[in-house]
Structure 1
């Protein structure tokens, strides 16, 4: 028997060690689907911003990809494949060629904070974890004082006032303590992208309150008129054209059946008109009975 001088066992061990170093002992990602990015990552953003969560998968084959989230409110299925299952219109699945199963969230709120899971339907499931952390907006219009300082999700959409009532809007500017205070106190208010002139109309005033980590500016428009309807925005000149989604609020000054919920009106509200209508009906009925 002739010896070749080559150890087959030794060669096999060397190749196995090399593969283990490169691929890991499980070989996951070569014979089954896996993710192309790091797991357990954090995404930081501000209230009101938009975010896209990537989920890049290779070797998907006949498997499917789904998004789930776990927040303080509980767990929820968001997407499966190209279909969106959540009833929240701000959230949608946006698959991008060739292998990115993206999740898109617009107008992010504090309630969106939590753990987002991109899951491949292997057995057991292969899961990519992304933690979403939502910070306060740098500039935002606050809720009405009767509802507290924090803005409700719907507060920035529309506010209604009756003619003759007082419009009061409050805006918070969150600052860095190392930055000079004077930069943050130069707050400007505009309506429909035009600066509000505080000198030519005595019924309009702006007050500023300095707190520990924020400055609160209050805009007051007394005896509101129909022409005061518009989109009001607070801004800082030194930030230029930077967009702050929570810094604007639509205001409507209307005289009609819509019940104004802010301020006190000198005109009839919806409840007043209902009462008057009932009284007229009672008078007419009484008159008909007497006749």
Structure 2
């Protein structure tokens, strides 16, 4: 007698699949189901208060949030979430309509963007100041990141008001390196690294310049 193989997940998992993502990135959830036959595959989001939100059924989208999209690649039902936000964090489930239902859980954490900067610096006159600034957990998408350096309460970029200033910014890694040559006592103060777009955030460190 011919026996049909029941649907099953291609990869066995006894615990939630952990997914970490940066703000603004596209998150991909993979759910590989073999021998599906006439059963359906749905993607469901579980809210913090345990309410269920139906996202997709087979290739049909059932949410008004246009950032969700489902594609079928072979036996892999791929759910894509574009422009991920911190509030998208939570539990997502791949549901197969067997009896009892098959369920694969994914725990998504979308990290908020943050800024990291060099610590307080102590230098002497004539030396070169070197400060580094990095934006973490941010995917800028199509927006060109804009980063500037300021000193004190001045709102004009440092390289526009003083000579001997070198600023190197890598827009792919969202890092910026500031160098100020031939330090003077009046160069002491608070130095601020500022991200102007796609979001606004800044960090400040104190620089001391002693008479050499």
TM-score strictly above 0.5? yes
Would the aligned equivalents of 1:48 and 1:137 in 2 still touch at CA under 8 Å?
Answer: no
Residue-by-residue CA offset, 1:184-215 (whole Å, 9 max, x unaligned): 28xxxxx97788798xxxx94259xxxxxxxx
Runs of 4+ aligned structure 1 residues displaced above 6 Å come to 191-198
Larger relative contact order (CA 8 Å, sep ≥ 6): 2
Residue-by-residue CA offset, 1:106-148 (whole Å, 9 max, x unaligned): 110111111110011000100011110111224xxxxxxxxxx
TM-score (norm 1): 0.43
Computing the radius of gyration from Cα coordinates, the structure with the larger value is 1
Secondary structure in 2 aligned to 1:182? Answer: strand
Return the match for 2:18 from 34, 42, 51: 42
C-alpha distance in 1, partners of 2:43/2:76?
Answer: 12
Residue-by-residue CA offset, 1:5-42 (whole Å, 9 max, x unaligned): xxxxxxxxxxxxxxxxxxxxxxxxx8310111243210
Unaligned runs of 5+ in 2: 120-129, 135-142, 159-166, 176-194, 200-212
Return the match for 2:68 from 70, 85, 91: 91
Alpha carbon RMSD of aligned pairs, Å? 3.9
Structure with the larger helix share: 1
Residue-by-residue CA offset, 1:140-172 (whole Å, 9 max, x unaligned): xxxxxxxxxxxxxxxxxxxxxxxxxxxxxxxxx
Question: Judging changes above 3 Å, is the alpha-carbon distance between structure 1 residues 184 and 42 closer, same or farther for their aligned structure 2 residues?
Answer: same
Structure with the larger strand share: 2
C-alpha distance in 1, partners of 2:97/2:7?
Answer: 9
Question: Judging changes above 3 Å, is the alpha-carbon distance between structure 1 residues 195 and 106 closer, same or farther for their aligned structure 2 residues?
Answer: closer
C-alpha distance in 2, partners of 1:176/1:248?
Answer: 21
Question: Judging changes above 3 Å, is the alpha-carbon distance between structure 1 residues 72 and 120 closer, same or farther for their aligned structure 2 residues?
Answer: same
C-alpha distance in 2, partners of 1:72/1:31?
Answer: 36
C-alpha distance in 1, partners of 2:155/2:196?
Answer: 19
Would the aligned equivalents of 2:146 and 2:196 in 1 still touch at CA under 8 Å?
Answer: no
Alignment partner of 1:107 is 2:38? no
Q: How many pairs align?
A: 148
Alignment partner of 1:183 is 2:159? no
Would the aligned equivalents of 1:71 and 1:113 in 2 still touch at CA under 8 Å?
Answer: no
